[in-house]
Amino acid sequence: MPKPQHPRGTPIPNARFRVQRPVEINPTLPEQPPAPAGPALLPTKRRPFLSPLLAGLRQRFSTLPSPVRRACGTLRWLAPALPIALFFPEHVMQVMWVRGPSMTPYLNEDYAQTQTKSDMVLVSMWPWGSITPFKKERKLERGMVVTFRSPANPSHIAIKRIIGLPGDRITTREPCVKKSQIVPWNHVWLEGDAEDPRKTLDSNTYGPVSLSLVTGRVLAVLGPRMRWLDWTEWDSGKGEIASSGSTDLHRQSVRDRVLKDAVKLERPHLN
């Protein structure tokens, strides 16, 4: 068998040896993440501070007797209602009882016969003339029935009718020592509806009442005979109850004792 011919200068491979080709190594290295500037701080999950305390309270609550747990559940719902219950009668509405004969026969109609029955009235504590209860704007008119802190006893809430406004001249009655009185600025003249001056303690005893002492306005009588009080007819001589056939409760002599706007008062300037 003839041997294969190889060109001159070409090395003849030896069958007993194998030539291994060198493995090519890529000189480019994989990208390494940038080293942090300082020591790395791993975020740790913080455990709530109140969790152990709440867990302990729940465990103790579960060991309480069943009546105690029911009572606590009831208090849980009543607690949010407590601020509302405190705010409403002080700034919105309040129910009061009228004691004594000072406002008869307009209020406590049967006081002369029984002397025991008391009218239950609805009083608006919301400052009339303003939107919010924190802006104290008193827009009072003659004939309004209002509640106020008595100057003779500030802890006592009294109820009387506004007879005069600032600048009015009032012809007083007993026991006032002056024959007439000018109502000063920021004050009102209050009197009871009782015809006998000895049955009412009003401005004829302690003088004009400051507006800062006025707490509310009577809107209606809730019992024993329910009715709305309309003060707008006081100047015209029509009583609120007179329209229903009763006698005239607003005596003409009371209106005759009031000289409206006798003195022009200017608003004082505070430095």
User: Domain containing 227 — which CATH number?
Assistant: 2.10.109.10
* Lowest mean per-residue pLDDT among 8-12, 152-156, 241-245: 241-245
Residue 84 in any domain: the answer is no
CA nearest neighbour of 205 among 157, 170, 173: 173
Q: Could you report the per-residue pLDDT of 68-126, keeping only the tens digit for each? A: 778 877 777 777 777 777 777 777 888 999 988 888 888 888 787 777 778 999 998 87
Tokens of 133: 């209860």
User: Which residues constitute the domain of residue 117?
Assistant: 91-259
Residue 166 in any domain: the answer is yes
Residue 267 in any domain: the answer is no
Distance CA 145, CA 96 (A): 13
For residue 270, give the 3-state DSSP assignment: coil
Residue 174 in any domain: the answer is yes
Task: Say if residues 178 and 160 touch (Cβ distance below 8 Å).
Answer: no
Q: Which residues share a beta bridge with 122?
A: 95, 220
Residue 109 in any domain: the answer is yes
**Mean of all residue pLDDT scores within the chain:** 77
Distance CA 55, CA 77 (A): 21
Number of domains comprising the chain: 1
Tokens of 129: 């003339």
CB proximity list for 129: less than 8 A, separation 6 or greater: 137, 138, 139
* pTM of the predicted structure, to 2 decimals: 0.65
Residue 21 in any domain: the answer is no
Give the torsion sign (CA, 78, 79, 81, 86): positive
Residue 198 in any domain: the answer is yes
Q: Catalytic residues, which ones?
A: 102, 160
pLDDT given at position 245: 43
Q: Which residue bears the tokens 């509310």? A: 216
Residue 86 in any domain: the answer is no
